[in-house]
A and B are shown apart, each in its own frame.
Chain A
Amino acid sequence: MADSYIHQDEAEIIGSATSSMRAIQIPCCLCGTMIHPNAANQCGSCLAQQFDLKTILQRGPGGSDLIIHQCRQCRRYERSENVKQFADYQLESPELLALCLKRIPALQPGSHKQSGASQIDGMMQNRNAVESIHLADAMWVWTEPNSMRLKIRLTVRANVIESPRTVTVQQRVLVEFRVAFKQCPDCNREYTNRTWQAIVQVRQKRATSDAPRKGLIMLEMALAKNAHIRRHIIRMQTTRNGFDFYFMSLPHAQMLSSFVARIVPMKIKTSKKLVSEDVKNNTANVKHTVTCDLVPLCRDDLVIADKAATKGGGGAGRLSGRLCLVTKVSSNVHFVDASPMRGGDVTDCFADLPPEKYWKAGAEKSYRVLLTSRALVRFIVLDVELCSGGNNQYHHQSSEEDHDLYAGPKSGVEKYALADVEVARESDFGHNDETFQCVTHLGNLLSVGDVVLGYDMVSSVLSSEAEWSVENAFNSSFVMPDIILVKKLTGSGGGGGETMDGGDTAENGDEKKPSRSKKSGTSKKRERRRMRGEKKAKELEETAARMGFFRGEKKGRELEEAAARMGFFDDADRMGEGAEEDDDGLMDEERAAFERELQNDPELAKELNEAEQELATRASEMKDESISEEEAKTNDSEEAGIDEEGGSNLSEKST
Chain B
Amino acid sequence: MATRCAFENCHEIGVFSALTNSYCLTGIGGTENFYSIFESELSQHIPVVHATIAGCRFVGRTTVGNRRGILVPNTTSDIELQHLRNTLPDNVVVQRIEERLSALGNIVACNDHVALVHPDVDRETEDVIGDVLGVEVFRQTVGGQALVGSYCKFTNQGGMVHPRTTVEDIEELSSLLQVPLVAGTINRGSDVLGGGMVVNDWSAFVGLDTTSTEISVVESIFKLGSRQHHQQQQQSLGAAAMEGVQPIVQQFQPNQPSDIVTDMRSSLIDQLS
A contact set with B: CB distance below 8 Å = 1-2, 4-5, 7-9, 11-13, 17-18, 21-24, 26-32, 37, 40-42, 162, 165
Contacts and interface: CB of A to CB of B under 8 A. Distances in A.
B165 interface: yes
A22 B213 contact: no
Nearest to A8: B180
B167 interface: yes
Interface stretch (B38-46, B98-106, B146-154, B214-222): B214-222
Interface stretch (B19-27, B62-70, B80-88, B183-191): B183-191
Nearest to B214: A29
Given A2-B254, A22-B166, A41 B185 contact: yes
B211 A12 contact: no
Contacts of B182: 1, 4-5, 8
Given A9-B249, A24-B165, A26-B184, A1 B189 contact: no
Interface in B203-226: 211, 213-214, 216-217, 220
Contacts of A4: 182-183
A12 B174 contact: yes
Nearest to B217: A1
B168 A1 contact: no
Contact of A24 (B183, B211, B216, B250): B183
Nearest to B250: A9
B170 interface: yes
Given A9-B249, A22-B166, A37 B214 contact: no
A42 B216 CA distance: 16
B164 interface: yes
A24 B185 CA distance: 12
Contacts of B248: 12
Interface string B246-258: 0011100010100
Contact of A12 (B171, B188, B190, B254): B171
B213 A32 contact: yes
A474 B31 CA distance: 125
A8 B171 contact: yes
Nearest to B171: A11
Contact of A21 (B163, B166, B175, B189): B166
B117 interface: no
Contacts of B213: 1, 27-32
B170 A29 contact: no
Contacts of A28: 213
A29 to B, nearest CB: 4
A432 B20 CA distance: 141
B198 interface: no
Nearest to B182: A4
A12 B249 contact: yes
B196 to A, nearest CB: 11
B194 to A, nearest CB: 15
Contacts of B185: 26, 29, 37, 41
B71 to A, nearest CB: 28
Contacts of B217: 1, 27
9 contacts: A1-B256, A2-B256, A8-B171, A13-B249, A17-B171, A21-B168, A23-B166, A26-B185, A42-B189
A1 B190 CA distance: 17
Contact of B163 (A13, A24, A30): A24
Contacts of A165: 190
Contacts of A27: 184, 213-214, 217
B166 A41 contact: no
Contacts of B183: 4, 24, 26, 37
Contacts of B184: 26-27
Q: Would you list the 10 A-B pairs with minimal beta carbon distance, nearest first?
A: A41-B189, A37-B163, A32-B213, A24-B183, A29-B189, A41-B185, A26-B163, A22-B167, A21-B166, A29-B211
Candidate in B163, B166, B184, B188 with the most chain A CB atoms within 10 angstroms: B163
B142 interface: no
A462 B51 CA distance: 131
Contacts of B164: 23, 37
Nearest to A39: B189
Candidate in A11, A17, A37 with the most chain B CB atoms within 10 angstroms: A37
Nearest to A5: B254
A32 B185 CA distance: 11
B15 interface: no
Contacts of B171: 8, 11-12, 17
A24 B166 contact: yes
Nearest to A21: B166
Contacts of B166: 21-24
A42 B163 CA distance: 12
A440 to B, nearest CB: 101
Contacts of B6: none
Contacts of A23: 164, 166-167
A614 B13 CA distance: 79
Nearest to A41: B189
B18 interface: no
A13 B247 CA distance: 12
